[in-house]
């Protein structure tokens, strides 16, 4: 199966250093996009990275142009690049095996598009009434099934269906609003949020046409959201409202448990992605000085600051500050997310952890990385801001989801700093694709 990490953020354009922009084929850390709003997605196998880069203008923050790219992780090559010179464009979201990717735009680029890696073909779906207006957030293992939003409601799209996206329904008392953010490897189980009798946003699990509530933890306002589901559909991660604030959770076999936050900061955070075997989750938490930090929860539930963890693995972050981890590959070696430094910008990053066996894994107590059978990854995240197209899904960050700049819940995260550095000489090769009409 696959997961996506789609985070749309506010940022200031910066130049990237050679150390962060270099090829990310081997173990290391790279910054892939930086702009007013960026998004990043990783396939379950960790070999395909989808990104988007959108520029906005002040004071309205309206998106005026954007570009989506799909990269091969092993080579660093850009497989396909599609600009939208007049408006917002989302990342190409890859299937679990990376052979299919889907995306959507709201400017002059096609409203919908799909890329098939085997044939190296990017196809325009903009005139297909069965696809028009559908915003994908995650694909299953083969790309045959996608979940996302359509008209501000949770929908599922089957590649072989002639009837268009399928409405997933709503929880009891809901008004139909919501979004589906992830799907199991076999395409049978989806998760996301729906309105309900008790709250405007409640985490759901959908299977075989039936939507059920994931529930919440005691306290708070009953709000919750499911961001990611494991390959076998046994485990769900996300956030729920509690008395202290937004609480990251892991739901397993019908039981929801809170995940701890970092010490030293105010309470709040969310889990965005889960590994293939569901033992490891990634997301964000407030840390020292109430700064948002990218974190990882291991199999025992212990929380780790990823900047500290990456440093222990010998990865050079170049002084950059990582605020959110939004996706993780099947084997736990590839993690993607968003970050900042001290110059007021945000960027999308990817970190590849060294192969196990160097001795550092045991020292850190992260034996989960040595298990080659980890099955699924992902994360689908979407942020809604002025200039986003109708139907785009948003979640708020500070008090709930951790998605940078979200507007659905309460709270948002403003522009963050990033230092200006020199451009890299190691720019991946690009093969631009021409959009073809759908057969």
Instruction: State the chain's mean pLDDT as an integer.
Output: 76
**Ordered alpha helix ranges (H), 2-41:** 18-21
Q: Is residue 225 part of a domain?
A: yes
Most confident of 208-212, 242-246, 352-356: 208-212
Q: What's 127's domain CATH number?
A: 2.120.10.30
Q: Is residue 3 part of a domain?
A: no
Residue 87: pLDDT above 50?
Answer: yes
* Phi (first) and psi of residue 266, to 5 degrees: -70, 165
341 pLDDT band, cuts 50/70/90, is low
Which tokens go with 198? 């008790």
CA terminus-to-terminus distance, the chain: 27
Which tokens go with 233? 């559909």
pLDDT of residue 125: 85
Q: Is residue 10 part of a domain?
A: no
Residue 377: pLDDT above 60?
Answer: no
CA distance 119 to 270: 38
CA distance 87 to 341: 27
pLDDT of residue 431: 31
The Cβ of residue 127 has, within 10 Å, a number of other Cβ atoms equal to: 12
Q: Is residue 299 part of a domain?
A: yes
Q: Which residue has the higher pLDDT, 323 or 222?
A: 323
* pLDDT (tens digit per residue) in 141-155: 999 999 999 889 999
pTM of the model: 0.79
* pLDDT (tens digit per residue) in 247-266: 999 999 899 999 999 998 88
Query: pLDDT > 70: what percent of the chain?
Result: 73
Q: How many domains does the chain have?
A: 1
CA distance 61 to 54: 11
Q: Is residue 177 part of a domain?
A: yes
* pLDDT (tens digit per residue) in 18-72: 233 334 446 799 999 988 888 899 999 999 999 999 888 878 888 889 999 999 9
pLDDT of residue 274: 96
Residue 400: pLDDT above 70?
Answer: no
Q: What's the domain range around 187?
A: 18-437
Q: Is residue 248 part of a domain?
A: yes
Q: Is residue 74 part of a domain?
A: yes
Residue 79: pLDDT above 90?
Answer: yes
């Amino acid at each position: 199966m696959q997961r996506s990490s789609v985070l749309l953020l506010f940022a200031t354009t910066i130049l990237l250093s050679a150390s962060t922009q270099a090829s990310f084929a081997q173990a290391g850390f790279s910054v892939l996009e930086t702009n007013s709003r960026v998004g990043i997605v990783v396939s379950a196998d960790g070999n395909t990275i989808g990104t988007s880069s959108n520029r906005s203008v002040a004071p309205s923050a309206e998106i005026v142009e954007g570009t989506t790219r799909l990269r091969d992780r092993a080579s660093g090559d850009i497989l396909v690049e599609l600009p939208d010179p007049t408006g917002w464009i989302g990342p190409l979201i890859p299937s679990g095996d990376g052979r299919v990717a889907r995306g959507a735009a709201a400017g002059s680029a096609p409203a919908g598009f799909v890329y098939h890696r085997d044939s190296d073909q990017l196809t325009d779906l903009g005139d297909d009434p069965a696809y028009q207006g559908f915003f994908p957030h995650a694909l299953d293992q083969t790309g045959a099934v996608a979940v996302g939003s359509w008209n501000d409601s949770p929908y599922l799209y089957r590649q072989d269906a002639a009837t268009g996206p399928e409405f997933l329904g709503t929880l009891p008392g809901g008004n139909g609003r919501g979004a589906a953010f992830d799907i199991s490897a076999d395409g049978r189980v989806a998760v996301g949020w729906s309105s309900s009798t008790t709250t405007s946003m409640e985490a759901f699990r959908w299977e075989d046409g039936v939507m059920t509530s994931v529930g919440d933890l005691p306290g708070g306002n009953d709000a919750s959201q499911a961001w990611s589901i494991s390959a076998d559909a046994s485990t769900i991660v996300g956030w729920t409202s509690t008395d202290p604030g937004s609480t990251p959770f892991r739901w397993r076999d019908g039981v929801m448990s809170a995940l701890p936050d970092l010490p030293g900061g105010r309470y709040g955070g969310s889990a965005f992605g889960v590994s293939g075997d569901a033992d490891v989750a990634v997301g964000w938490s407030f840390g020292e000085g109430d700064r948002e930090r990218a974190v990882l929860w291991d199999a025992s539930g212990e929380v780790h600051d990823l900047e500290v963890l990456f440093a222990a693995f010998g990865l050079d972050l170049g002084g950059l500050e990582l605020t959110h981890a939004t996706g993780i590959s099947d084997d736990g070696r590839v993690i993607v997310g968003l970050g900042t430094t001290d110059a007021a910008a945000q960027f999308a990053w990817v970190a590849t952890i060294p192969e196990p066996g160097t001795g550092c894994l045991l020292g850190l107590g992260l034996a989960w990385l040595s298990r080659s059978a980890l099955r699924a990854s992902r994360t689908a995240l979407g942020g809604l801001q002025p200039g986003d197209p109708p139907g785009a899904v948003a979640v708020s960050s500070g008090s709930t989801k951790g998605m940078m700049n979200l507007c659905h819940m309460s709270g948002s995260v403003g522009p963050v700093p990033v230092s200006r550095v020199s451009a890299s000489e190691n720019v991946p090769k690009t093969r631009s694709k021409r959009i073809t009409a759908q057969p």
